[in-house]
Structure 1
């Protein structure tokens, strides 16, 4: 029986006639009328829209009368009553004119350690209030830079130490939120200002609180995580930084674990910051002591270390229960082996000695009365004898 193999010849395509073509066109037209126009989501893909040509973009940097000076920040060392004139460069990076509000404000350290400036609705009371600009509103053309002069005057009663703020260039625009509400957007970019007022410098860092948490494992030879949360405060009059580490010790000062030093944020005078460290693999050594070890620094020098400790119980209850059960078992075993009472002695002792009676017993007579062993002589004094 011969094998059937597929043919390698291509099938001949039949060209539809005019009637068939007319019917297909008529069907397509009717289908289009019934279904209507294509939905918006079914339209052919369009290229992604280009970036908004009217986007607001600008830059702010320390400058001089002839342009940028290469400085990252405005840094000054002045005495009370001194003043200095400087420039801030504001560059319009967009394609339309922008009008900027240029002014000074104060800085502060946020709770997460970031450098921040006061919002626009809060008036400056420190170095921001000492910065004066010729006018508040400045218009800069597209692709151009304006080097805007300002004057910083230190009051005569200014306190010694660091005063930090910024020179802001802000653009206010109207916007619409997701729910359709119109809002006023205040977009701000600033160059930082670091001012050191001459006088007594008192750098100081304080560890205000230390909290320790530990989840004792059931396994007495197991390990668990120790959580240490501490709050530090810049209690001096200059900004500080540095590193911090945690040392965990057991009874007798035996070191169990130590964390690697972590960098602390720059803390402005009066600022505080909370650090949380998780120390892994700590054994339940009955009593755990966590020591916060800070190595603070200023922009000029290193400061003496600052330490503070806190303790927490890490009682291995399962081990203590096992030891208590073993002690109770040993006690009961010894108690059972102890004799309940003393046994009487069976060793023969000396025979008791009887006292001689006053009238020794003799042979008994017929009446049953005893007869003395010796007879008394008769009344006549002669001894009785045989005849």
Structure 2
């Protein structure tokens, strides 16, 4: 039977203490994956460990078949990365890992699990001697590929995946660092001048260090002479892996135009071991108070008109004096 297309893989990740489960609406297949031991799950949310270059360690994932029939899973390791919105994700099945996922060794590629049964699968991770210090993130995936039919009636291969996260810190010098790459501002004045306007602030935060980091970002809007016009509440940033980034967008209402507006972005990085210094970046945007400009323009025209009338009257009075003489 020839497969004529491939549907995007469904990937569920361990995001809470409960094991991640796959329960597609269009399939009766259900299973879970969670950190485990040789004797069963030990309550861990994720697999988190430390190792030195050249060291090998062993751990387990529990794969539970939640259906009434046996299931065969493809089990493998892969690398993690941050998506555009900062979410934790794993490489597609067709993409070969180059980091921690390539360091994983399992006893087999496929495992068959009886109905309503959990299988605790051992795996080992061998850290290369040249591995870079710091955090490396990935996952142990249990997947099932099924043939299905799409809306056009074509046969497609659906790869459903469930994974347990793996975080490994390689011993060595660490440098936890966040950087604000860019700050972009847009200002749109409201129809009613009394309402001010809307300032849109977009800033890119990048993890330029070698440890996974979270943090909180805020924006302060100031006018001339440092006059504070608005300040946002702290916005929690997603966990950024080394090299990962996320673009944050903040919309601030009621900002009065003061010809020149500046936005200062402050990001307070947070590691899991220490407090880090605040990172700051600022930029400005022109925001002309057009209603005030128009009002001043009308006032100037009125003054000019009054002045012109006054000049004409004086001239007319001077002519009358000359004629009478």
TM-score category of the 2 structures, normalised to the smaller one: 0.7 to 0.9
Following superposition, the deviation at residue 186 of structure 1 comes to 1.1
Q: Is the 8 A contact 1:218 1:317 kept in 2?
A: no
Q: Is the 8 A contact 2:190 2:198 kept in 1?
A: no
Following superposition, the deviation at residue 219 of structure 1 comes to 4.7
State the TM-score, normalizing by the size of structure 2: 0.84
d(CA) in 2 for partners of 1:141 and 1:197?
Answer: 37
Question: Rg larger in 1 or in 2?
Answer: 1
For residue 261 of structure 1, the aligned residue among 219, 223, 234 is 234
Instruction: In structure 2, list runs of 5 or more residues that go unmatched.
Output: 1-23, 319-325
d(CA) in 1 for partners of 2:128 and 2:86?
Answer: 29
d(CA) in 2 for partners of 1:219 and 1:68?
Answer: 61
Q: Between Structure 1 and Structure 2, how many residues are aligned?
A: 292
Residues 179 and 285 (structure 1), Cα distance of their counterparts in 2 relative to 1, 3 Å cut: same
For residue 54 of structure 2, the aligned residue among 57, 68, 81 is 81
State the TM-score, normalizing by the size of structure 1: 0.71
Post-superposition CA distance 1:13-62 (Å, at most 9, x none)? xxxxxxxxxxxxxxxxxxxxxxxxxxxxxxxxxxxxxx99x811111111
Q: Is the 8 A contact 2:144 2:159 kept in 1?
A: yes
DSSP-derived class of the 1:111 partner: coil
Following superposition, the deviation at residue 334 of structure 1 comes to 5.5
Q: How does 1:225-304 map to 2 (within 5 A)?
A: 225-304=198-277
| Richer in strand (by share) | 2
Does residue 1:309 correspond to 2:299, yes or no? no
Post-superposition CA distance 1:259-282 (Å, at most 9, x none)? 111111111111111111000111
Bigger RCO of structures 1 and 2 (CA < 8 A, at least 6 apart): 2
Following superposition, the deviation at residue 317 of structure 1 comes to 2.1
Following superposition, the deviation at residue 339 of structure 1 comes to 6.9
Partner of 2:28: 55
Following superposition, the deviation at residue 208 of structure 1 comes to 1.0
Q: Is the 8 A contact 1:248 1:256 kept in 2?
A: yes
Post-superposition CA distance 1:191-214 (Å, at most 9, x none)? 100000011111111111111111
Partner of 1:114: 87
CA RMSD of aligned residues (A): 2.2
d(CA) in 1 for partners of 2:189 and 2:145?
Answer: 56
d(CA) in 2 for partners of 1:332 and 1:58?
Answer: 83
Q: Is the 8 A contact 1:220 1:284 kept in 2?
A: no
Q: Is the 8 A contact 2:200 2:251 kept in 1?
A: yes
Post-superposition CA distance 1:143-187 (Å, at most 9, x none)? 111111111110000000100000111112221112211112211
d(CA) in 2 for partners of 1:322 and 1:151?
Answer: 74
Q: Is the 8 A contact 1:247 1:291 kept in 2?
A: yes
Following superposition, the deviation at residue 238 of structure 1 comes to 0.8
For residue 156 of structure 1, the aligned residue among 129, 136, 144 is 129
Does residue 1:214 correspond to 2:187, yes or no? yes
d(CA) in 1 for partners of 2:66 and 2:225?
Answer: 64
d(CA) in 2 for partners of 1:314 and 1:65?
Answer: 64
DSSP-derived class of the 1:265 partner: strand
Partner of 2:18: none
d(CA) in 1 for partners of 2:131 and 2:271?
Answer: 21
d(CA) in 2 for partners of 1:327 and 1:91?
Answer: 80
Post-superposition CA distance 1:269-299 (Å, at most 9, x none)? 1111111100011111221111111111112
d(CA) in 2 for partners of 1:93 and 1:83?
Answer: 32
Instruction: In structure 1, list runs of 5 or more residues that go unmatched.
Output: 1-50, 343-387
